[in-house]
Amino acid sequence: MNLPIGKLKHDFLKELLPTSNSSANVVVGPQIGEDAAVIELGDNYLVATSDPITFATEDIGWYVVCVNSNDIAAMGAVPKWLLATLLLPEDATTPAMVRDIMGQIRQACAAFDIALCGGHTEITPAVTQPVVIGQMMGVTHKDALFTSADTCVGDALILTKGLGIEATAIIARECEAQVREKYDIRFLEQAKNYLMDPGISVLKDAQIAIATGGVHAMHDVTEGGVSTAASELATAAELGVVVYSDKLLGSPILYSDITRTLCDMFGLNPLGVISSGAMLIASEPEKGEMICQVLSKAGISADIIGKFLPPEHGLWLEDATGTQQPLPVFETDEIAKLL
């Protein structure tokens, strides 16, 4: 039986991961729901991650820097160094294409004060479109590390920016002709610009939340969308969670009209579309509203969308009437239906 497109199913992935760290220096090893590895390095921690860009083709260099730096930020660290591997398709790669991708990487690194310090480039028949893989490293003090496992029972679950930010940009860019048939150029350009505004970086989100206080854990929202990310965060902490669907699907703040229009147009479930640019934050319950207010004052939309429960309560999606259904986990991102 062939496996579906997207991340490996959690149960299968658990079989593949080591049950213990092979080195005493590894503070956080490979675990479901953790955004990066953490390695003891003197008085600090080295935080390291790796992520590919496989859905997008336009502005792929900007994506790879943002997506990898988000993983570092979610651990409370400062992203510092990037290695990038470019796998480029045979008979479809031009010098202009390569210059464009590398220019995007350099521009994004400059914007976020990250050093491009190495990598690999290769033209190969193994891919049919450009694939860029990033390896990002950052540092944090030992007392400033956040892990998903630190989430506590009763914590508020906060979402920043909203559903489908990255998906909106990808749909507008990769399905431009179809969108043009139904909507005007202003709508199309606004959707494309979701890459920059509200943007797919969560560095600022993380920094503001940490400075406000009360944060226990953070998790970057990527493939599988907000619903899957909430499940991953709860799984890492071995807790239950309830997510309020009306706070997401009924909110013009967290579910924009543009994203709603594109999801409806292509029949995509917004809870399961790739959503880089959004961050889940687990906070002390009494600090949740304050964190949202401070983020909002900084121009970053945020709201409490759920709470964490003892593990025996399970993982639930709850509507405005209090009716619950199992929290959906999207093994294949909804956007794969288009690409």
CATH number of the domain where residue 255 is located: 3.90.650.10
- Residues 106, 190, single domain; the answer is no
Written as one letter, the residue type at 321 is T
Same domain, 20 and 126: yes
User: What whole-number percentage of the chain has pLDDT above 90?
Assistant: 88
Is 59 part of a structural domain of the chain?
yes
5 occurs within a structural domain: no
Residue 54: which CATH number? 3.30.1330.10
Same-domain check for residues 152 and 136: no
Q: Measured between alpha carbons, how far is residue 37 from residues 72, 78, 137, 289 in Å?
A: 9, 14, 9, 30
pLDDT at 22: 67
Mean pLDDT of the chain: 95
Structure token digits, residue 132: 């860029």
Q: CA 317, CA 296: separation in Å to the nearest integer? A: 25
Domain edge (last residue) among 144, 170, 193: 144
267, part of any domain: yes
pLDDT tens digits along 282-335: 999 999 999 999 999 999 999 999 999 999 999 999 999 999 999 999 989 999
Mean pLDDT of 259-281: 98
Provide the greatest CA pair distance for the chain: 58
Which residues, 6+ apart, have CB-to-CB distance to 47 below 8 Å? 36, 37, 38, 39, 72, 75, 77, 137, 138, 139, 140, 145
Q: What average pLDDT does the segment 137-166 reach?
A: 97
Residue predicted with more confidence, 168 or 8: 168
* Residue in this structure with the two tokens 């160094």, named with its chain if needed: 81
Question: Is residue 166 pLDDT above 80, yes or no?
Answer: yes
Q: Are residues 216 and 301 in the same domain?
A: yes
Q: E strands within the chain?
A: 26-28, 37-41, 44-53, 78-89, 115-124, 131-141, 156-160, 215-220, 240-244, 279-283, 302-309, 315-318, 324-326
User: With a threshold of 0.85, does the pTM exceed it?
Assistant: yes
User: With 90 as the cut, is the pLDDT of residue 159 above it?
Assistant: yes
Q: Is residue 60 part of a domain?
A: yes
Q: Are 324 and 177 in contact (CB under 8 A)?
A: no
Can you tell me the distance from the alpha carbon of 289 to that of 194, in angstroms, rounded to the nearest whole number?
26
Q: How many domains does the structure of the chain reveal?
A: 2
Q: Do residues 162 and 302 touch, judged by C-beta distance below 8 A?
A: no
pLDDT level of residue 20 (50, 70, 90 thresholds): confident
Residue 232 shares a structural domain with residue 213: yes
Residue 272: pLDDT band (50, 70, 90) is very high
Q: 281 lies in which domain range?
A: 148-337
Does 269 lie in the same domain as 124? no
Together in a domain, 247 and 102: no
Claim to verify: residue 169 and residue 297 sit in the same structural domain:
yes
Instruction: Please indicate, yes or no, whether residues 157 and 292 belong to a single structural domain of this protein.
Output: yes
- Statement to judge: residues 109 and 222 lie in one domain: no
The answer to whether position 2 is within a domain reads: no
